Structure 1
Amino acid sequence: MADPLAGIPLASIRVFEAAARLKSFTRAAEELGMTQAAVSWQIKALEGRLGQSLFRRLPREVQPTEGGERLSRAATEAMTLLRRAVSDLTEADEHILSITTLASLAAQWLAPRLGGFQVANPGLAVRLDTNPNLLDLAREGFDIGIRSGSGDWPGMESQLLMPSVFTPVCSPAMAERLNLKQPGDLLDAPRIGMEKEWAAWFAAAGVNGGTQPMSRLTADYQVLEVAAALGDQGVALASPILFARELRNGLLVRPFTQTVSFHTGYYLVWPEGRRRSPKIARFREWLAAQADADPTIVAARGTSGGAV
């Protein structure tokens, strides 16, 4: 049996339900944010599809016909159930904030701070995912992401969180053993990370010459490369922002202050049109305040490292 609703837009049922309930095309238009002409057009289109009149047009109001009255009761019940379901989904969704971000940034900077956000927002649970790829946030079910790049991604709005700066880091023992005096000394040092990134740093530091020997180790995540540096395996390129704690505690040292950028920065991103979502707005404001209060980020904002 053919579906009797086939070919009938939900929008027409919604307009009909409001007009029948309010007994006025004008008041229905006001409630739905439409023009009176648009409401009238939708009703006429629905009547044409059903092959019968649904309203008696009176001088000051409209009255449902017998058929219109039957359809009105069913439509009101259906719209009530639909509104309730959407409200329940929206309310449940507003109690969970889903974040996707980069593993190293999550481990080194975001996760240690999230407790403060949860204390300030006890009714909002946080789901944290680490993924190196820029996902379709809406399709994958995420509210917000933190990604590296230029900040210009189709279908998303963005806000710069922190600049991208990288600098050589190593353990104090490694720095003493290598007796590093000038950036060129790193040409012969055991290095960790991609050669093209090291080449960019050498260029930013004004060092000419090859990048031999080859790097001892490269890894998918910055935090793994720095872990190797902490284990006296060599010198790694790392963000002084993300590893500020290790630098502050003396676990790592920066033999040279020169920095390089591989992208514009780290951005907070969310789907277009969701800026005013209460949970996204709260997280965005909280995260921006965290960045503004971080002295390493403030210092990096004034750093003019070479950009790649």
Structure 2
Amino acid sequence: MRHLKAFHIFHVAASSSSYSEAAHKLNITHGAVSKQIKVLEGYLSLPLFYKQGRNVHLTQEGELLKGYTEQAFQALDAGVNKLTQLKNQCLEVSCEPTLTMRWLMPRLSDFHLSSGADVRLSTAGGPVTLGTTGLSLAIRRDDFELFHDYKKMKLVDEWVGPVFSPEYWQQVKHDLSKVKLIHSQTRPQAWENWSSSYGNSLLLDNAHQTFAHFYFCFQAAVDGLGAAIGSYPLVVDDLKRGNLIAPFGFVLSGHNYILLSQKRALDELEQEFTHWLQESLLQCVPTNVEREGLLHF
């Protein structure tokens, strides 16, 4: 295709506020960006940008072309991802760190046995860039603003509640003022949010201890250092093993676990993983007995 390089530079510049920003994204000079835009404008015999102050803005013709270049480069990204997956029978997935370690990784062998495909995991939370990074899908808790126009699929409601080791609960159950609240720097409002959903400010004045990551909070709870707010999929295995108990039960947090994908048709492997993920997470909701807990106020 003629002027493919110029179309790509236009594609990047169209989503930037200046040629300098586009040059930084592309790791080329400001002059190189300006030159390729002029080449493309000459080829099309149409103005694509106009300058206003230090910023550049798309003309009406530029806006129209932007829509087509987005479709074209998204399709190209999808094709590259598909070729990579066909070669390796591998799916690149981003998932929140604690959900990865405490829920997803222990179950991935089931997906591999059923599909024969490998899932390569990268751990991160919050905003994510798909496609150009090689990532096909991202599993997230919907507690952040989406900066990309991705398809968002709800996987399961999030249920939360305080979790204790059985031994620690025996020590504090007759005097709840002794309960130490375990916090995470990544979810500092977890106890307050649970208290609001639970409808009781009990425990909020207790002593507390903070860890850097959510994962450490659950290990601290298992080790009897205090009580942590558990998101149900993250604690379900320890509940079943008897390492943790949830005497206050579980309440809806108002958040969901979601799956992010690009706005295109999922390929066969992505569809298979998505279906498996939905089915697996839908089995990870508390029963009515677990929701009620052991205590009643």
With normalisation by structure 2, the TM-score equals 0.63
Instruction: Using the aligned pairs only, state the percent identity.
Output: 22
**What are the residue-to-residue correspondences of 1:85-104 with 2, within 5 Å?**
90-94=82-86, 95-104=89-98
Equivalent-residue separation in structure 2 for 1:152 and 1:178 (angstroms) = 39
**Alpha-carbon displacement from aligned partner over 1:34-88 (angstroms, at most 9, x marks no partner):** xxxxxxxxxxxxxxx8xxxxxxxxxxxxxxxxxxxxxxxxxxxxxxxxxxxx988
Change (3 A) 1:239 1:215: same
Tell me which amino acid in the other structure corresponds to 1:193. H
- Paired residues of 2:155 and 2:259 also in contact (CA < 8 A): yes
Q: 2:196 aligns with which of 203, 228, 237?
A: 203
- Paired residues of 1:229 and 1:235 also in contact (CA < 8 A): yes
Structure 2: runs of 5+ lacking an equivalent: 5-42, 44-77, 293-297
Equivalent-residue separation in structure 2 for 1:258 and 1:297 (angstroms) = 10
- Paired residues of 1:157 and 1:270 also in contact (CA < 8 A): yes
Equivalent-residue separation in structure 2 for 1:276 and 1:196 (angstroms) = 36
Q: 2:275 aligns with which of 272, 285, 300?
A: 285
The answer for the alignment partner of 1:52 in structure 2 is none
**Alpha-carbon displacement from aligned partner over 1:256-304 (angstroms, at most 9, x marks no partner):** 114251x52111111111x332221111112122234x2x32748x969
Tell me which amino acid in the other structure corresponds to 1:265. N
The answer for the alignment partner of 1:217 in structure 2 is 210
What's the offset of the Cα at 1:98?
Answer: 0.1
The answer for the alignment partner of 2:242 in structure 1 is 250
Q: 2:258 aligns with which of 267, 271, 289?
A: 267
What's the offset of the Cα at 1:230?
Answer: 1.0
Tell me which amino acid in the other structure corresponds to 1:140. T
Tell me which amino acid in the other structure corresponds to 1:230. V
**Alpha-carbon displacement from aligned partner over 1:14-52 (angstroms, at most 9, x marks no partner):** xxxxxxxxxxxxxxxxxxxxxxxxxxxxxxxxxxx8xxx
Change (3 A) 1:269 1:179: same
- Paired residues of 1:204 and 1:258 also in contact (CA < 8 A): no
Equivalent-residue separation in structure 1 for 2:153 and 2:212 (angstroms) = 28
**Alpha-carbon displacement from aligned partner over 1:196-249 (angstroms, at most 9, x marks no partner):** 32122223333247822342123322x210100111100111123321121122
Q: 1:139 aligns with which of 132, 150, 158?
A: 132
The answer for the alignment partner of 2:285 in structure 1 is 297
Equivalent-residue separation in structure 2 for 1:127 and 1:219 (angstroms) = 25
Aligned residues: 214
Tell me which amino acid in the other structure corresponds to 1:159. M
- Paired residues of 2:233 and 2:285 also in contact (CA < 8 A): yes
Equivalent-residue separation in structure 2 for 1:200 and 1:282 (angstroms) = 35
Change (3 A) 1:229 1:209: closer
The answer for the alignment partner of 2:183 in structure 1 is 193
The answer for the alignment partner of 2:170 in structure 1 is 176
The structure with the larger Rg is 1
Change (3 A) 1:121 1:134: same
Change (3 A) 1:136 1:201: same
Q: 2:158 aligns with which of 161, 164, 171?
A: 164
- Secondary structure at 2:229's aligned position in 1? strand
Report whether the alignment pairs 1:240 with 2:228.
no
- Paired residues of 1:151 and 1:267 also in contact (CA < 8 A): no
- Paired residues of 2:166 and 2:242 also in contact (CA < 8 A): yes
What's the offset of the Cα at 1:90?
Answer: 4.1
Structure 1: runs of 5+ lacking an equivalent: 11-48, 50-85
**What are the residue-to-residue correspondences of 1:4-83 with 2, within 5 Å?**
8-9=2-3
